[in-house]
């Protein structure tokens, strides 16, 4: 299949896009979405019944129909489909859009996506798989979403508890974007008068702007930003926690050497002396996603080796083992490390944990010492932090092991950072007017005008007055594919 784009500035290229719009895995239904000029009429000849005619006429509606699956050069199976037709500009993306609901089988979904993609390329000359968040990005560019709306969608993707989902829905349904636009427009009119009074001091008919008027323009903006930031607070703590990947195993298993190799630099001391690592050591790092088009940030944690129960009387060693166990219990993914010459390298013994949700990858370390006749656990990944053997395969396995963890949280954090910057700019502008009577003019009109404009610019960055592609990649690039 074609690769989906990453942060390549392709959000507004107008090429028709296709993607699965439901969560990965099995379910009762799978939704597949296609958007772009001409997609509705292009799929008509693969459909049966009234839906085919509705597509040719670009008639809005919801239809039960069948998709004629292709086998080699002929059509040999009609797949039951529920079809939504939404001609642009009155659709989510502002473009012609079709949505297919099919039985929830991942293999069937992959085939259906490929068939729709090939059909669009055949009829329109070009089409591609959608990148992360690209449907929402196109809705934003069409004026159907503002960044607060988009952040609410991202927060919903990242939500892991009901309270977080409720907060995300409140943000998505808020009218803060519209209120901020109106308030910033009013403030701009006041700034314009202030700047006119600076430029045309000799003109009698030029009326300046008072400190009170500027304060009255800035204060409701500050209050609205505070409300927006508060509405994202319920999800921030959850989405800011990156997935934790733990290296665990017995002492002297080569965990620290592997840790340094994955990080790309010597961050921990690696020694052949067992017990060198006493504390858990963690670092934030980037791992390439499976399609290599983007990266995922994770926290990689090196732990002290855990001796077998009852084999150590060292209080420090016992404390280190307890810290390791706590790290394992809190892990999203455990790299269960065994040196090449360990019996567990062959029998696949695993580190114990009570965390049933934790996923594991069996890792054999020090594989550069591997003897040809040695039989390894076939499920394990042989690696060497010294020579780099197996590191690419291990990174891909880690990325795959975390593939269904929600990723929209990064978009929430990116938007919240922009909102916080806007709030700081507004606070500085208000501080510049401190202690002035409402009827007085600003002490330093040029400085005040500059700070007020900086505040408006920061607010506009929340809603489109910025380098579109930079912020689109920052925010929408963290969405799930198909959103």
What's the pLDDT score for residue 127? Answer: 92
For the segment 290-308, the average pLDDT, to the nearest whole number, is 70
Together in a domain, 252 and 396: yes
Check whether residue 395 and residue 267 sit in a common domain.
yes
The SS3 assignment for 305 reads coil
Q: What's the CATH code of the domain at 197?
A: 1.20.120.430
- The overall average pLDDT reported for the chain is 76
Question: Strand ranges (DSSP E) for 256-326?
Answer: 281-288, 295-302
Q: How far apart are CA 312 and CA 465, in angstroms?
A: 63
Q: Check: CB of residue 138 under 8 Å from CB of residue 11.
A: yes
Peptide bond into 182 cis (omega under 30): no
Tokens for 472, please give them: 């689109």
CATH number at residue 103: 3.30.1360.120
Give backbone dihedrals phi and psi of 5, rounded to 5 degrees, phi first.
-75, 155
Q: Are residues 109 and 23 in the same domain?
A: yes
pLDDT band per the 50, 70, 90 thresholds, residue 6: very low
- Closest C-alpha to 188, from 463, 459, 371: 459
Instruction: Select the highest-mean-pLDDT range: 60-64, 129-133, 158-162.
Output: 60-64
**Exposed e or buried b per residue across 218-240, where buried means at least 16 C-beta atoms within 10 angstroms of its C-beta:** beebbebbeebeebbebbbebbe
User: Given a cut of 70, is residue 179 above it in pLDDT?
Assistant: yes
d(CA 187, CA 193): 10
CA distance 185 to 456: 9
Q: How confident is the model at residue 33 (pLDDT cuts 50, 70, 90)?
A: very high
DSSP secondary-structure letter at 441?
P
Rounded to the nearest angstrom, the gap between the alpha carbon of residue 340 and the centroid of all alpha carbons in its chain is 37
39 has a pLDDT exceeding 80: yes
Higher-pLDDT residue of 177 and 444 is: 444
Q: Are residues 248 and 313 in the same domain?
A: yes
Phi, psi of 84 (to 5 degrees): -110, 130
Spatial separation of the C-alpha atoms in residues 40 and 25, rounded to whole Å: 27
Maximum C-alpha span of the chain: 97
Distance CA 20, CA 458 (A): 35
How many structural domains compose the chain?
3
| Confidence class for position 62, pLDDT limits 50, 70, 90 | very high
* Of 80-89, 206-215, 386-395, 441-450, highest mean pLDDT: 80-89
Helical packing angle, 468-475 and 147-158, nearest 10°: 20
Give dist(CA 482, CA 20) in Å, integer. 5
398 and 329 within one domain: yes
pLDDT at 227: 81
Q: Does a structural domain hold residue 468? A: no
Q: What is the pLDDT of residues 325-356, one digit of tens each?
A: 887 887 888 999 888 777 655 554 555 544 44
Note the residue count of the chain. Answer: 483
Q: Confirm whether 312 is domain-assigned.
A: yes
**Residue 475 within any structural domain of the chain:** no
Q: Is 253 helix (H, G, I), strand (E, B) or coil?
A: coil
pTM: 0.49
Q: Which secondary-structure segment (H or E) carries 270? A: none
- Measured at the alpha carbon of residue 101, what is the angle toward residues 81 and 85, in degrees to the nearest 5? 80
For residue 219, what are the CA distances in angstroms to 141, 450, 461? 29, 17, 19
Half-sphere exposure of 444 (CA within 13 A, CB side): 9
Q: Is residue 308 part of a domain?
A: yes
Q: Which of 144, 173, 198 is the last residue of a domain?
A: 144
Same domain, 412 and 387: no
Model pLDDT for residues 263-282, shown as the tens digit of each residue:
887 665 554 444 444 467 88
Q: Are residues 420 and 362 in the same domain?
A: no
Single residue among 144, 164, 189 that ends a domain in this structure: 144
**DSSP label at 476?**
G
User: What are the angstrom distances between the C-alpha of 96 and each of 37, 92, 479?
Assistant: 5, 9, 22
Other CB atoms within 10 A of residue 333 CB:
19
**Alpha-carbon distance values, 362 to 250, 336, 387, 397, 431 (Å):** 13, 5, 19, 10, 57
Distance CA 384, CA 257 (A): 8
Q: How many CB atoms lie within 10 A of CB 120?
A: 24
What does the pLDDT average to over 194-212? 69
Q: Where are the alpha helices (DSSP H) in 125-160?
A: 134-141, 147-158
> What is the pLDDT, as a whole number, of residue 354?
45
Q: Domain check: are 89 and 167 in the same one?
A: no
Is residue 321 in a domain?
yes
- Tell me if 104 is assigned to some domain: yes
- Higher-confidence residue of 376 and 155: namely 376
Structure tokens at 243: 């997935």
The predicted model gives 32-47 an average pLDDT of 94
Domain identity same for 435 and 374: no
List b or e across 413-452, with b for residues whose CB sees 16 or more CB atoms inside 10 angstroms. bbbbebbeebbebbeebbebbeebeeeebbeebeebbebb
Q: Of 144, 161, 194, which closes a domain?
A: 144
Domain housing 314: 244-402
Nearest Cα neighbor of 157 from 28, 355, 21 is: 21
Phi, psi of 31 (to 5 degrees): -105, 130
Determine phi and psi for 88, rounding to 5 degrees: -75, 160
pLDDT band at 183 (very low <50, low <70, confident <90, very high): confident
- At residue 232, the pLDDT reads 67
Q: Which pLDDT score, from 0 to 100, does residue 234 have? A: 57
Confidence tier at 240 by pLDDT (50, 70, 90): low
Q: Are residues 268 and 208 in the same domain?
A: no
User: Which tokens belong to 148?
Assistant: 């607060």
In a domain, 7, yes or no: no
Instruction: Provide the pLDDT for residue 81.
Output: 94
Q: What is the average per-residue pLDDT within 306-320?
A: 57
Does 398 lie in the same domain as 415? no
Residue pLDDT, tens place only, 370-392: 766 566 778 889 998 889 889 99
Judgement on whether residues 357 and 435 belong to the same structural domain of the protein: no
Task: Give the model's pLDDT for residue 114.
Answer: 93
Give the pLDDT mean for 356-364.
76
Domain of residue 307, CATH code: 3.40.50.300
3-state secondary structure of 248: strand
| Top mean-pLDDT range of 91-105, 154-168, 269-283 | 91-105
Inform me whether the pLDDT recorded for 7 exceeds 60: no
| 9 within a domain of the structure (yes/no) | no
């Amino acid at each position: 299949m074609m690769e989906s784009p990453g942060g390549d500035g392709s959000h507004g290229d107008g090429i028709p896009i296709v993607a699965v719009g439901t969560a990965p895995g099995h379910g009762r239904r799978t939704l597949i979405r296609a958007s772009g000029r001409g997609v509705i009429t292009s799929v008509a000849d693969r459909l049966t019944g009234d839906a085919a005619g509705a597509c040719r006429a670009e008639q809005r509606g919801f239809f039960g129909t069948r998709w004629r699956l292709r086998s080699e050069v002929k059509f040999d199976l009609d797949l039951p489909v529920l079809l939504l037709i939404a001609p642009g500009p009155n659709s989510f993306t502002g473009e012609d859009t079709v949505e297919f609901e099919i039985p929830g089988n991942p293999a069937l979904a992959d085939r259906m996506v490929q068939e729709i993609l090939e059909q669009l390329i055949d009829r329109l000359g070009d089409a591609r798989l959608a990148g992360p968040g690209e449907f929402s990005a196109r809705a934003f560019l069409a004026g159907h979403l503002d960044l607060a709306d988009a952040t609410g969608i991202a927060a919903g993707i990242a939500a892991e508890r009901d309270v977080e989902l409720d907060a995300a829905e409140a943000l998505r349904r808020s009218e803060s974007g519209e209120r901020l636009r109106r308030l910033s427009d009013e403030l701009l009119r006041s700034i314009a008068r202030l700047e006119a009074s600076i430029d045309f001091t000799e003109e009698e008919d030029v009326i300046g702007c008072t400190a009170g008027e500027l304060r009255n323009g800035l204060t409701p903006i500050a209050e609205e930003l505070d409300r927006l930031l508060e509405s994202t607070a319920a999800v921030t703590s959850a989405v800011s926690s990156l997935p934790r990947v733990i290296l665990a195993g017995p002492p002297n298993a080569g965990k620290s050497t592997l840790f340094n190799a994955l990080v790309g630099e010597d961050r921990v001391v690696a020694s052949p002396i067992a017990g060198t690592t006493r504390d858990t050591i963690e670092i934030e790092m980037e791992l390439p996603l499976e399609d290599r088009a983007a990266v995922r940030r994770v926290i990689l944690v090196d732990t002290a080796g855990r001796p077998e129960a009852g084999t150590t009387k060292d209080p420090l060693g016992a404390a280190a083992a307890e810290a390791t166990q706590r790290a394992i219990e809190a892990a999203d993914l455990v790299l269960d490390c065994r040196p090449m010459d360990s019996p567990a390298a062959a029998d696949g013994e695993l580190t114990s944990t009570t965390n049933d949700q934790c996923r594991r990858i069996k890792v054999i370390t020090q594989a550069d010492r591997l003897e040809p006749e040695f039989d390894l656990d076939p499920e394990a990944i042989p690696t060497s932090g010294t020579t780099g053997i197996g590191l690419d395969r291990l990174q891909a396995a880690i990325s795959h092991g975390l593939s269904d963890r929600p990723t929209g949280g990064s978009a929430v954090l990116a938007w919240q950072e922009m909102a916080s910057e806007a709030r700081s700019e507004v606070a500085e502008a208000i501080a510049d007017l401190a202690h002035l009577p409402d009827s007085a003019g600003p002490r330093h009109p040029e400085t005040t005008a500059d700070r007020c404009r900086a505040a408006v610019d920061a607010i506009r960055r929340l809603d489109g007055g910025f380098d579109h592609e930079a912020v689109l990649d920052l925010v929408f690039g963290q969405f799930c594919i198909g959103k």
